[in-house]
Structure 1
């Protein structure tokens, strides 16, 4: 509350997408379809894992929580983008702006940690198969997911509260679709060194270190797969982790595009469009990748479709 008392800015103008009326309609329709498909795709993943006993395994348990995180991210970002596309000068309170940043950051952090846990699950299944059933118990999986969400919520809360203690004296316009970290800090007239150090440290702990853990784990996984004598065995082993590897590559690839390729001298206009990669594209593609590259899910989908067809035939 102390930070809010010294905050001069009470509302924030999100400029969002600027274009003609015709282009605006196309963009709105595109984002609406993306949001609808993202919600449906991730909800289908959750429903299928709950529906099929064959999918009651640690990997799919973690996948359902990844879908929950993607739904949280999409719901936090896309409705506001849709509103910004229509009104062109979207005005939200500074409190709502910080709340949006908080939930966005929580979902991004949870994604990093969940992908790391899922990688550990694949490492045990392929490299340490004899130890797998003794380590990856239901109790262990529940604890890992609980710790993941608690760390994400608490750590993000720390630097969110630190940001609110800064003085914000304008200008109060953000040329962006949502309240991201750098655009928010651009509004501050305080020294942001402490915030930058804090965010860099926490990002190293919760993004960079998990990334290197995933790289090292997959190095061992690939080395182990290559040692399997039969071609069928190698293909089967790789197919169990190909979907996860695809999601990891896309997730960290988009982050690298946003935070390493652009530099401070480039226009915010470039950065804000690149940010759509990890806020819009990633939650959309995750269920698609798992559905297309996972035979277990494909079998459950076919079984579920056949079940619905049989019900429809019986009612005719």
Structure 2
């Protein structure tokens, strides 16, 4: 995608040209947000209702109930002729050892999986995915979460990662991917989840939010509470906020972007509710910058990358913000 041009020079932009520019900007936002994650939205899939739990239910009780629900969802999908979905659900079962705090196999689905020992960890990371993450693309999301957990464990044994597909992510080609509407609904879900997560972890457990792509829009609207120490935004199209100080959190806010991430070309504008405004990696936003290396939009959690190392340091509390480069005039 070519980099959007700056303001026209040499002549005045009339009203038709202004309308054209707004249309092009909206189109660029749409194309940039959905370009690399093209997967068709899954139609409704038969599955049992999610398992119900009391406020006092321990994580291990939830794991067992959700494994049974997952197995039943796979059976129902197979019987309905949805063999592709059934295969993906069976892969999620992880030989009967998967740890799901929540699971809903209906439609595009939701899943909240724990990697590590949640009840003994003193460092817990909640990973928030971006657009078009569904049960049909879940393994891609889980691969990144697993790489993060393995890297964290190598540095600090008491670490756990929560892969939080706890909201209906925007579709690949839809108006919802251009607005904060879906993020507003997700933020309410995430705020509630963080409250309950704080009750399921040790009193001194440190929580962090790592928010990718449209997931950064979700995190920017989430009231985090006192246990969340850090919020990292990466591959972000913007948050809908003008500055880090406007976010409903007392946590440290970090931002990074890979050198080859196409999302750098998203116009950082907000027009009539379309778009997400200020670029989080812009020094004017006020986030702490971190090194994200030369990678692309899907590379932040790949093993061996500078971005994975930086995110690990943020979670462990050993990261130091870098000095941002001053753009050339």
TM-score (norm 1): 0.25
**Greater RCO, 1 or 2 (C-alpha within 8 Å, sep 6+):** 1
The structure richer in strand per residue is 2
TM-score (norm 2): 0.25
Specify the structure having the higher radius of gyration (Cα). Answer: 1
The structure richer in helix per residue is 1
